Amino acid sequence: MRTGRVLAVILVVVAALVASCTEESNPPEPTTGDWHGAIEIPGQPLDIGVTFAGDGTATIDIPLQGVQDEPLKDVKSDRGGVAFAIPNIPGDPAFKGSYDAGSDRITGDFTQFGQPFPLTLERGAVAQLARPQEPKPPFPYRSEDVSYPSGDITIAGTLTEPEGAGPFPAVLLVTGSGPQDRNEELMGHKPFLLLADTLTRAGYAVLRTDDRGVGGTGGKLDVANYTDLSDDVAAGVRFLRARPDIDPARVGLLGHSEGGYLAPMVAARPDSGVAFVILMAGPTVPGGEVLIEQTRALLAANGASPEEIDKQVRDTTEMVALLKAGDLAGAKDLAKRNNAELPEDQRLPDDQVGAEITPYFAALVAHDPAPALSALRIPVLAFFGDKDLQVLATQNEPPARTLLAGDPDATVHVFPGLNHLMQPTQTGLPSEYTAIETTIDPQVLTYVTDWLTQRFPAK
């Protein structure tokens, strides 16, 4: 019996020693979790956050570029070294470094286009950007998730209403180009959430919706044309006008950017029921002309040479002509040729070249807003930012005044110092959108609210 007890004790001790040795030889990787640091680009360090998961995967956040939880590739995260790469970005951006147990830091170089930049990562998540205007609960109004049909798809959105019985005047928000959610979230901002909050506090019901193929809305945006998209807006108007808590005679549209194309299309329809239209940086010339002038302005603002600008404008003009002719295959071939002319380290991956050339994009390029704008005979507010480099006021404000001249209640206004999102800006460049804390300049919110209350006063 005593021998057995001794043997049992020895076995327990051996087991403990084996477990201890195993733990020391294969402990948990110290790099698992959240890390943050700044890529030391001269004059403009770029804050990033990297999260290493226990299964060997990782994601990256780049707040200034609106990147959140993007998966990384070629991930290595152990005592032998730390590495990762960002997929599908020109220049093959990648990091290679090591973990130092003494300082509890990851140090190395972030490389893009062959140029290295020092990067040191410390524990903890990267700081999120300040968004002082973003509405936070509790809200002094009701909020309801809603859905309704548009043809063979279902549209999903959020309806906010003031407290009380109504019926309320209502505003349907119409998003800009590309796949947008109901908050029109981009570059870390939620302009439609802010607009909805502002207008609902002022006494208006506000409906904001997900685009086709986004969030709770069905369908695919890439294959939609402008008839499809304007039908979606019209379905929202019908939904609002059919509700007993909404005044059917006071339902209007607020369209931002491309939404400024769609809103007049719907409002100009016979018996649309639309009582007013607000156009926020809405184009007033054909889409192809907007794209060409946008190309010129953005390149110039970024310091491109006259020769570079001329070439890009020629390429864009050729692309526009192909899309207006319905030659999507030719447009994609042109995109491939242009990509092949770039230095190898600046080229897009083959599967990304021409991905934006879709029936939807062709519809945007071919659209002429003149007939719808000139047909409007309801209150219209069209406003622009004079530093907007996407829908330039110099290109779009004069036609707005001309096309709306027959409307007895049309207001056209240009805000100085504001960009495409109606933010105060230095350059107007889209690269500034994320860095600017203001989502929409308060003077714009006041101007829109005052314009509405003068014409359609809430109770």
439 in a domain, yes or no? yes
Match 């995109």 to its residue by tokens: 335
Domain boundary among 363, 395, 417: 363
Which tens digit of pLDDT belongs to each residue from 299-356?
999 999 999 999 999 999 999 999 999 999 999 999 999 988 888 777 777 778 888 9
Residue 309 has a pLDDT of: 96
The pLDDT of residue 28 is 57
Residues 430 and 328 occupy one common structural domain = no
Residue that has been written with the tokens 């014409």 in this structure: 455
- The CA–CA distances, whole Å, from 343 to 58, 158, 263, 339 equal 29, 46, 42, 9
Size (the chain), residues: 459
Q: How far is CA 413 from the centre of its chain?
A: 25
Q: Mark the ranges of the chain whose per-residue pLDDT is less than 50.
A: 1-26
Domain boundary among 340, 363, 386: 363
Q: What are the backbone angles phi and psi of residue 249, rounded to the nearest 5°?
A: -85, -5
Residue 433 lies in a domain: yes
Are 82 and 160 within one domain?
no
User: What span, in angstroms and rounded, lies between the C-alpha atoms of 300 and 291?
Assistant: 14
Dist. CA 327–CA 362, nearest whole Å: 9
Instruction: Identify the CA nearest to 341 among candidates 308, 304, 365, 298.
Output: 308
**Both 296 and 271 in a single domain?**
no
What is the token pair recorded at 274?
A: 């639309």
Q: How many domains does the chain have?
A: 3
* Domain that residue 349 falls in: 288-363
Identify whether 10 is part of a domain: no
Query: Does the residue 199 lie in any domain?
Result: yes
DSSP string, 366-434: H---HHHHHH--S-EEEEEETT-SSS-HHHHHHHHHHHTTT-TTEEEEEETTB-TTS-B-SS--GGGTT
Question: What pLDDT score was predicted for residue 363?
Answer: 97
Residues 149 and 268 in one domain: yes
- The reply to whether 58 and 73 lie within a common domain is yes
- The whole-model pTM stands at 0.85
Residue finishing a domain among 363, 380, 408: 363
* In a domain? residue 252: yes
Give the pLDDT of residue 25.
43
Query: Do 446 and 353 share a structural domain?
Result: no
Same domain membership, residue 403 and residue 257: yes
Q: Which pLDDT score, from 0 to 100, does residue 8 have?
A: 39
Bridge partners, residue 53, by sequence = none
Task: Give dist(CA 327, CA 255) in Å, integer.
Answer: 29
Are residues 142 and 164 in contact, defined by beta-carbon separation less than 8 angstroms? no
Q: Are residues 148 and 241 in the same domain?
A: yes
Q: Is the dihedral of CA 131, 137, 141, 144 positive or negative?
A: positive
Specify whether 323 is located in the same domain as 358.
yes
Q: Does residue 381 lie within any of the structural domains?
A: yes
Q: Determine the Cα–Cα distance for residues 68 and 434; give it in Å rounded to an integer.
A: 13
Residue with tokens 């570079």: 308
Beta bridge partners of 278: 254, 381
Does 27 reside within a domain?
A: no
For β-strands 410-415 and 380-385, DSSP reports them as parallel
> What pLDDT digit, counting tens, does each position of 25-47 carry?
445 578 899 999 999 988 778 89
CATH code of 177's domain: 3.40.50.1820
- Residue 63 has a pLDDT of 87
Alpha carbon 307 to chain centroid distance?
31
Which residue's structure tokens are 């779009």?
A: 396
Q: Say yes or no: 328 and 398 in one domain.
A: no
Strand, coil or helix: 67: strand
Same domain, 114 and 151: no
Does 299 reside within a domain? yes
Residue 302's H or E segment, with its range, is none
46 lies in the same domain as 151: no
Q: Could you tell me the two tokens for 60?
A: 């990256």
